[in-house]
Amino acid sequence: MPIYKAPIEDTMFVLYDVLKMEAYGNLPGFADAPRDLVEAIVNEGAKFCEEVLQPLNVVGDTVGCRRNADGTVTTPPGFKEAYKQYQEGGWMGLAFDPEYGGQGLPATVNTVVGEFMSSANLAWGMYPGLTQGAMAALHVHANDEIKRTYLPKMTTGEWTGTMNLTEPHCGTDLGMLRTKAVPNGDGSYRISGQKIFISAGEHDMAENIVHLVLARIEGAPAGTKGISLFVVPKFLPTPDNKPGQRNGVSCGKIEEKMGIHGNATCVMNYDEATGWLVGQENKGLNAMFVMMNEARLSVGVQGLSQSEVAYQNAVAYAKDRIQGRALSGPKAPEKAADPIIVHPDVRRTLMTLRAVNEAGRALMLWTALMADVSHRSEDAGERQKAEDHLGLMTPIIKGVLTDLGFDNAVKAQQMYGGHGYINEWGMGQFVRDARIAMIYEGANGIQALDLVGRKLGANGGRAVMSFFNEVGTFCAQNKDDATVGPFIGSLSKGLKDLQAATMWFMQNAMAKPDNAGAGSTPYMHMFGLVAMGYMWAKMAKVAQEKLVAGANGSTDRMNAKLVTARFFFEQMMPETGAHLARIQAGADSMMALAADAF
Amino acid sequence: MPIYKAPIEDTMFVLYDVLKMEAYGNLPGFADAPRDLVEAIVNEGAKFCEEVLQPLNVVGDTVGCRRNADGTVTTPPGFKEAYKQYQEGGWMGLAFDPEYGGQGLPATVNTVVGEFMSSANLAWGMYPGLTQGAMAALHVHANDEIKRTYLPKMTTGEWTGTMNLTEPHCGTDLGMLRTKAVPNGDGSYRISGQKIFISAGEHDMAENIVHLVLARIEGAPAGTKGISLFVVPKFLPTPDNKPGQRNGVSCGKIEEKMGIHGNATCVMNYDEATGWLVGQENKGLNAMFVMMNEARLSVGVQGLSQSEVAYQNAVAYAKDRIQGRALSGPKAPEKAADPIIVHPDVRRTLMTLRAVNEAGRALMLWTALMADVSHRSEDAGERQKAEDHLGLMTPIIKGVLTDLGFDNAVKAQQMYGGHGYINEWGMGQFVRDARIAMIYEGANGIQALDLVGRKLGANGGRAVMSFFNEVGTFCAQNKDDATVGPFIGSLSKGLKDLQAATMWFMQNAMAKPDNAGAGSTPYMHMFGLVAMGYMWAKMAKVAQEKLVAGANGSTDRMNAKLVTARFFFEQMMPETGAHLARIQAGADSMMALAADAF
C-alpha cells in the first residue's frame, strides 16, 4: 500500500524562511493568521489528508464511480464520509469571504492544504477544488442575490460546484459552443445542450450541485463574443434556500477513463434547465476565467502533488529493496545485496524528483502569496505587481509542474521495475492520475501559447521584465557569495538563454506568428527551469543563513537543500541551452510539410 | 476505434535504398529472399497485422486474460484464432533453421513483421515473440536431443515458449535467485521455486508451453556463478513427441497490471517439475543471454511500434479535429475552425514522432541486418564487426526506443485533449502498453549501465571506436554536400559531444565508478540521438539521390525525408549538449546525501 506524509517542515520553511510570510501581516486576514495558527492549520490539514483521504486513494481507483439507472451517481466507498469530515472541519471556507461564512484566512494556506489533499487523493480533492473555484467565480461576477443564495451553502460544503465548458465538438475553441440559453422573461433562462468531461458533475456527497455553465443566449453573436455564464443548480433553491424542485440537468454517462476513477467525469445533459446569468451577457468567458485561472493553479499543484507522493514511495522502496552492489563496494555487506538507493542512477531519479518538488512548492507558494496580495492589498502598485506575477506564472505553473509531475511519477514507477507495473504497489495510479493534469483546464500546449502569445507581451512586457529584473538583481547581488555564488553562473546562463529566446520572439514572431507557436512549449519549459532555478538559489541562500545561525534541529535539512540546489543547477538547468536552440530554429521545419504528407 | 497501417514503403526504403540489403546476397538464406519475395512477405505480414491482429487490440485490453479455477488461462476472445492463422501462415519459423522446419529467411524480415505485429497488438505479439526467443536460446545452447524434441514443435507454433528469470525478491540481481534444481540421476532435474512476471506463462493458444527456467543446482556456488538454465515443459513430451503427462509447473495467479492486458503475466509455481539442463551447469546466465539479447531488441521494436501506431492515430485526429484558427490566418475558411494540424505546436508533436519513428526503424533494421551478418557470414572479420555493432546497439535500441516510444505515445495522447484521456479513442492503451517496454528485459537504467559499464570498454573500446569512425567518416565525406551538408554541422556537434562524454568516462570513472553510473542514462540517450542522427543523415543523402534520379512516385516521400531530417537536427539533436553537461558534472550531487536524508 502506498504511503504519504505531508511535507509540513518544507512548507513552513518556504512560507516563513524563504517567502517571509510574516512580512504580509498588513493584508486582511493575514493578521488573524500568525505563524503558530498557520502551523496548527497545516498540521490539522496534514492529519486529515494522511489519515482520512490517503487510505481512500486506492479504493477510489479500484471501485470508481457508478452511475445508477436513475441517473444518480455513487462515489467510491468512504468518499462521502470523508467529505462530511471535510465539511465539519470547515475546510471549504478556510480562505473565503467571511461575509458568506468563510474564515477569510490567507488563500496561501488553502493552497498548502490543497497540495496535501491532492497528494493523498487527487480524485477526491477535485470535488472541493471545483467548488472553491466556482465560489471564486460567483464571488467576483454574480449579483448579490445569486451570491446570497449560493455562496453560504457552498462555503459550508453543503452544495458543491462544477465548471461546464467543453462540448463534444469544442474544448479549446469555446467560440464554437452550441449550448443555448433562452430568456424566460423573469430574469431566468432555459439552458439546453450537452457538456462533456464535467468533473464532479454528479455525485452523492452533497445535497445540491451548482453548475457554472457557458452557453449562448439566443441571438447572441457567433464566436467567443456571444458566450454567457450561467449558474444552473441541480435542485432549484426554495425561498428558504433548501434544495427544491429537480432542475432539467442530468448526468447521461460517466466516462471510462485512464485514471482519477474516484471522480465522476460526466456527460451532462441540459434540457431546458433553469439558470441565471452570472455577470454580463456575452461576457461569460471573462467571468469563467476567474474560475479557470484558479483551477489552472490548482491543477499545477496537482502535478506537483503526484510527484511528491510518488517520490515518497520511491524513497521508501529504494531504501528497502535490495538488489546488486554499490559500484564503490558493498554498503550493506551483512545483506545479500545493497538497498538500491546506493546506485547513482536511482539517486538521479530521487534527486530529480526532490529538486522539482521543492522548487515547485516554493514557486507555487510564492504565486499563491502573490494571489493573496493581488486580491487583498490596499496598495495599487503592489496589487499590480502581484497580478502581473500571477498572470505570468499561471501558465508556467500549470504547464511545467504538470508535465514534470507526470514525468516524475513515471520515473518513480520505473524505479520499482516490474513491481511498478503491477497494481499491487500503487505506482501506476500516480502515473494515470497525474496524466490528466497535463490535459484539463487547458492542455499544456495551450498554456504555452497563453504564455507566449498573451502573457509575454501584456502591458508592454511589464510582467516578464519585472521577473527578469528580479532574478538578474538577485544574481548580481549574490554572484560572489561563497555558498550561492557557485549556483549563480548556472542561473545567470539560464536567465540569459531565456532573455535571448524572448528577444528572438520579439524579432521573429511579429512577422511570422508560427515562430511563436513553434517555440512555445520549449519556451514554457525554459521559463519553468529559470523560475525553479531562482527558487533554488533563494532557498540555498536562506539555508546557508540558517546553517550559519545554527538553526536548531534543521541542519540536515538545510544541508540537503544545498546539495539539492547543486543537483538542480548541474543536472536540470543545462536544458535551457537546448531549448534556446530549438526556439531559434523557428517554425520552418515544422510547417514545411503539406498536411497530406503526414 | 484506433487505426493502423503498416509502414511498408518506409520499410522497403530503409532495407533496399538505405541499407542496400541486396548487397548481402551472399549470406545463407538471403539469396533465397530476393527483393520481390521480401516485399511479398512484408505485404502479407502487414495484411495479417492490419486485418487480424489490430482489431483484437482493444478487446485484448478490455477483456484481458482470465485464470480459471483449475489453473488454466483463457486469453481474450479472438486471440486463439489469430494465433492459429499465424501458425498456418508459417510465421513462427520464418527465419529459423530449416533443419528444424524453419524457412531460414533473413531474420531482418522477421524483425520487420515483428514491428508490425507489435504496432497492431503488442500484447498478442508477445506470445510468438517469446517463443522465437526461446527457440534461439535452445538452438544455440541445448543438446541435440532437446533440440530435436522441442524445436520442430516450436517452429510450427504448436508449442510456445517463455523465459523464467524473475523471483519475488530478485529481478535485476539474478545472483540472489532461489529456485532450485535437484538431479534425478537420469539426466533430468526436479525444479522447485516461484517465478513472477512470466509473460505468456499460461494460456490456451498452444498445446504445450516450453518454459526456460533459471535455477540453482543443489550445491552450486552462490551468486550468478551457480545459475543453470533448464527446459521445463508444461506437458512432458511422450516418446512420439506429443504432450504427455502434466508437469509440476502451474500458474498461481495472473498479475493485475497497468497494460498489456491481453498477455497473461503469470506467477509460475514450480513444484518438483521435471526439467532438463540447457547448456552447461552453472552457465545458465550465459545461455539465457541469447534469449535476453533477442528479447531486448524485440522490446526496443515494441517501443518503436507504439510510437508508430500512436503517430498514425494522432495524424488522423489532427487532420479531422477542427479547433481554433491558424496563427497565419484561416486555412479552412469554409469550416467553423481549422483542423488542428495547422498549429505549430501540434506539428511539433507530429514531427517529433515522425523523426523518431523513421530513424528508429532505420537503426533497428540496420542492427537486425548486422544480427543476420553476425550469425550467417562466413567472414570472421565481418562477423566480428557485426557482433560489435549488435552488442553496442542492443542497450541503445532497448533503452532509447522504449523511452521515446512511451514519451511519444504520451505526446500523441496529449494532442487529443480530454478525448485522449477517455478510453473511447484508444490512445491510453498505447501509453499503458508502451510503458512496460521501459521496464521488462532489463529496466532502462540497467540498459544504460550495460552500455557504459560493459559495452563501452569491451575489447578495448573496439565497437564504439568503430561507430565513431563510421559516423566521423560520413561527416567528413558529406560536409560540403549541398543537401546533406547543412545537417552535418549538427551531427558532428552531436558526435563531438558523445566523444567528449566517452573521454570523460575514461578519465573519471576508473577511479570513481559512481561517475559512470551517474552519467549512464544521459549517455545512453545521447548515443541514441547520435545514432538516429546518423540514420537521418544517411536517409537524407539517399532521398536526395532519389530525387535527383527522378524516383518515380516517391518525390513527396523523399521531400518529406529531407524536411524531417531538418526537424531532427534542429529540434532534437541540441539535447546532446545538455547531456554532456550532465555527465561532466559527475556523481557528487547525486551521492552527497546520506540515505536517511531522503
Tell me the pLDDT tens digit for each residue of B473-526.
999 999 999 999 999 999 999 999 999 999 999 999 989 999 999 999 999 999
User: Cα distance from A357 to chain B (closest Cα, Å)?
Assistant: 13
Q: Where are the beta strands (DSSP E) in A54-113?
A: 66-67, 73-74
Q: Are residues A131 and A164 in the same domain?
A: no
Q: Nearest C-alpha of chain B: how many angstroms from A239?
A: 39
CA distances from B58 to A85, B257, B307, B313, B408 (A): 41, 16, 17, 14, 19
Residue B328 maps to a domain: no
For residue A349, is it within any domain? no
**Helix, strand and coil in chain B, % to nearest 5:** 60, 15, 25
CA angle B494, B504, B582 (to 5 degrees): 65
The answer to whether A134 touches A140, Cβ cutoff 8 Å, is no
**In this complex, do B324 and A172 lie within 8 Å of one another by their Cβ atoms?**
yes
> Residue B434 has what pLDDT?
98
Angstrom distance (rounded) from CA B294 to CA B75? 25
Position A287 scores a pLDDT of 85
Distance from CA of A319 to the nearest CA of B (A): 7
**Burial of residue B473 (number of CB atoms within 10 Å: 0-12, 13-18, 19+):** exposed
DSSP assignment letter at A350? H
Quick one: pLDDT at residue A270?
98
- ∠ CA(A397), CA(A399), CA(A404), 5° rounding? 90
**Chain B residues lying within 8 Å of A253, measured CB to CB:** none
Distance CA A493, CA A569 (A): 10
> Residue A344 falls within a domain, yes or no?
no
Residue A73 pairs in a beta bridge with A67
Chain A residues closer than 8 Å to B257 by CB = 421-423, 428
Question: Taking CB atoms and an 8 Å limit, are B431 and A258 in contact across chains?
Answer: yes
Q: What is the mean pLDDT of each run of 10 residues along chain A (598 residues)?
A: 97 98 96 96 98 98 98 98 98 98 98 98 98 96 98 98 96 94 98 98 98 97 96 98 98 98 98 98 90 90 98 98 95 96 98 98 98 96 96 98 98 98 97 98 97 96 98 98 96 98 96 96 98 98 94 87 98 98 98 96
Q: What is the pLDDT of residue A254?
A: 98
Widest pairwise Cα distance in chain A: 82
Q: Which residue has the cell 548580481?
A: A476
B336 touches chain A (CB under 8 A): yes
Q: What pLDDT, on the 0 to 100 scale, is given for residue B419? A: 97
Q: Check if the beta carbon of residue B1 is closer than 8 Å to that of residue B309.
A: no
Longest dimension (CA), chain B: 82
> Any CB–CB contact under 8 A between B295 and chain A?
no
Planar angle of CA A256, A260, B263, nearest 5 degrees: 60
Name the residue among A468, A489, A490 with its Cα closest to residue A480. Answer: A489
Catalytic residue among A202, A294, A387, A441: A441
Contacts of B176 in chain A (CB under 8 A): 323, 336-337
Mean pLDDT in chain A?
97
Residue B597 and residue A341: Cβ atoms within 8 Å? no
Question: Is B562 within 8 Å of B546 (Cβ atoms)?
Answer: no
Residue B552 — φ and ψ, nearest 5°?
-75, 130
Q: Tell me phi and psi for residue B416, to 5 degrees.
A: -80, -5
Q: Is residue A417 part of a domain?
A: no
Q: For residue A275, give the CATH number of its domain.
A: 2.40.110.20
Q: How far is A171 from chain B (nearest CA, A)?
A: 8
Which of B144, B177, B199 marks a domain boundary? Answer: B144
Q: How far is CA A555 from CA A20, A292, A344, A362, A546, in A?
A: 20, 41, 24, 19, 8
Q: Nearest CB to A566: which of B257, B424, B589? A: B589
Residue of A286, A295, A262 whose CA lies nearest to A134: A295
Grid cell of A385 as nine digits: 505587481
For residue B372, what are the CA distances in angstroms to A315, B304, B359, B361, B531? 43, 20, 20, 16, 20
The answer to whether A96 touches A155, Cβ cutoff 8 Å, is yes
| B552: pLDDT strictly greater than 80 | no
Q: What is the pLDDT of residues A142-195, one digit of tens each?
A: 999 999 999 999 999 999 999 999 999 999 999 999 999 999 999 999 999 999
Whether B332 and chain A come into contact, CB under 8 Å, resolves to no
- Report CA Rg, chain A: 24
Look at chain B and report how many structural domains it folds into: 3
The SS3 of residue B159 is: strand
Given B226, B258, B282, the domain boundary residue is B282
| Closest residue in A to B314 (Cα–Cα) | A598
B392: Cβ contacts below 8 Å, ≥ 6 apart: B451, B455, B463, B464, B467
How many angstroms separate the Cα of B141 from the Cα of each of B146, B212, B283, B285?
A: 10, 12, 10, 11
Beta bridge partners of B595: none
Is residue B250 in a domain?
Answer: yes
> Which residue type occupies A171?
G
Q: Is A461 exposed, middle or buried (0-12, 13-18, 19+ CB in 10 A)?
A: middle
- Same-domain status, A454 and A578: yes
A511 and chain B: CB distance < 8 Å anywhere? no
Task: Assess if residue A442 is contained within a domain.
Answer: no
Q: List the 122-181 stretch of B: residues with Cβ below 8 A of A.
A: 166, 169-173, 175-176
- Cβ pair B421:A257 closer than 8 A: yes
pLDDT of B62 reads 98
Indicate whether B92 and B122 sit together in one domain.
Answer: yes
The cell numbers describing B31, all together, are 539469396
Question: Which residues of B are designated catalytic?
Answer: 441
DSSP-assigned letters across all residues of B238-307: PTTSSEEEEPSEEEEEEPPBSS-TTS-EEEEEEEEEEEEEESSTTBHHHHHHHHHHHHHHHHHHHHHHHH
Residues A182 and A253 in one domain: yes
pLDDT bracket for residue B293 (50, 70, 90): confident
Q: Which residue of A196, A343, A414 is in closest CB contact with B439? A: A414
B522/chain A closest Cα distance in angstroms: 10
DSSP string across A469-496: HHHHHHHHHHTT-TTTHHHHHHHHHHHH
How far is residue B575's CA from residue B579's CA, in Å, rounded to a whole number? 6
Chain A residue numbers with beta carbons less than 8 Å from the beta carbon of B341 are 595, 598
What is the rounded distance in angstroms from the CA atom of residue A30 to the CA atom of residue A21? 9
Three-class SS of residue B230? Answer: strand
Q: Find out whether A371 and A390 touch, Cβ atoms under 8 Å.
A: yes
Residue B155: pLDDT over 80: yes
A-B C-beta contacts closer than 8 Å: 255
| A441 has catalytic annotation | yes
pLDDT of residue B471: 98
Return d(Cα B304, Cα B316) in angstroms, integer. 19
CB A561 within 8 A of CB A543: yes
Relative orientation angle of helices B344-376 and A514-548, to the nearest 10 degrees: 80
B139 and B180 share one domain: no
Question: Considering CB atoms only, which of B327, B443, B570 is closest to A517?
Answer: B327
Identify residue A37 by its one-letter amino acid code. Answer: L
**Does residue B518 belong to the interface with chain A, where contact is any CB pair within 8 Å?**
yes
Contact: A577, B574; criterion CB under 8 Å? yes
Residues of A in contact with B424 (CB under 8 A): 255-256
Question: In angstroms, what separates the C-alpha of A585 from chain B's closest C-alpha?
Answer: 6
Question: Cβ of B511 under 8 Å from any chain A Cβ?
Answer: no
**Does the beta-carbon distance from A417 to B443 stay under 8 Å?**
yes
| Residues of A in Cβ contact (< 8 Å) with B323 | 170-173, 176
Strands A235-237 and B73-74: unpaired
**Taken in order B521, B522, B527, B529, is the CA torsion positive or negative?**
positive
CA pair distance A458, A467, nearest whole angstrom: 13
Torsion, Cα of B115, B117, B123, B129 (10° steps): -70
- Looking at the structure, do residues B61 and B170 belong to the same domain, yes or no? no
Looking at the predicted complex, does its ipTM rise above 0.85?
yes
Same domain, A126 and A227: no
Q: Is B458 on the interface with A (CB under 8 A)?
A: no
Q: Do A571 and A536 fall within a single domain? A: yes
* CB-based contact, A346 to chain B, within 8 Å: yes
Asked if the C-beta of B452 comes within 8 angstroms of chain A's C-beta atoms, the answer is no
What percentage of chain B reaches a pLDDT higher than 90?
Answer: 97
What's the confidence (pLDDT) of residue B298? 97
- CA nearest A80: which of A207, A247, A245, A198? A207
Task: Say yes or no for a CB contact (<8 Å) between A590 and B581.
Answer: no
Q: Is the pLDDT of residue B396 over 90?
A: yes
Average pLDDT over residues B19-43: 96
Is the pLDDT score of B287 beyond 90? no
d(CA B313, CA B47): 18
Residues 387-426 (B) with a CB less than 8 A from some CB of A: 406, 410, 413-414, 417-418, 420-424
> Domain with B53 in it: what CATH number?
1.10.540.10
Average of per-residue pLDDT values in chain B: 97
- What residues of chain B lie within 8 A of the CB of A598, using their CB? 315, 318-319, 341, 350, 354
Q: What pairs with residue B181 in β-bridges?
A: B191, B217
Across the interface, do B323 and A424 touch by the CB < 8 Å criterion? no
**Interface subset of B 240-259, CB within 8 angstroms of A:** 255-259
Q: Are residues B473 and B534 in the same domain?
A: yes
Q: Do A200 and A212 contact (CB within 8 A), yes or no?
A: no
B513:A327 CB<8 A:
yes
- For testing contact with chain B, the best of A268, A347, A575 (most B CBs within 10 A): A347
Final residue of a structural domain among B144, B174, B203: B144
Q: How far apart are CA B574 and CA A334, in angstroms?
A: 46
* Residue B369 domain-assigned (yes or no): no
Place of cell 505526446: B411
By C-alpha distance, the chain B residue nearest A564 is: B589
Any CB–CB contact under 8 A between B555 and chain A? Answer: no
**Cβ–Cβ below 8 Å for A166 and B418:** yes
CB B33 within 8 A of CB B106: yes
pLDDT of residue A563: 98
Same domain assignment for residues B138 and B247 = no
pLDDT at site A288: 85
CA atoms of A495 and A536, how far apart (whole Å): 14
Tell me the β-bridge partners of B257: A422
Residue B210: enclosing H or E segment and its boundaries?
strand B208-217
Q: Are A188 and A275 in contact (CB under 8 A)?
A: yes
What is the rounded distance in angstroms from the CA atom of residue A345 to the CA atom of residue B522?
10
Same domain? For A178 and A133 the reply is: no
Q: Report the gap between the CA of B1 and the closest CA in chain A (Å).
A: 15
| B14 shares its domain with B136 | yes
Q: Determine the Cα–Cα distance for residues A502 and A507; give it in Å rounded to an integer.
A: 9
Structural domain for B129, as ranges: 8-144
Q: Does A465 touch chain B (CB under 8 A)?
A: no
Has residue A69 been placed in a domain?
yes
Q: How far apart are CA A81 and CA A63, in angstroms?
A: 16
Distance between CA A486 and CA A478 in Å, rounded?
Answer: 9
**Beta-carbon separation of B410 and A414 below 8 A:** no
| Residue A529 C-alpha, separation from nearest chain B C-alpha, in angstroms | 13
Candidates A224, A263, A406, A589, partner chain B, best to mutate (most B CBs within 10 A):
A589
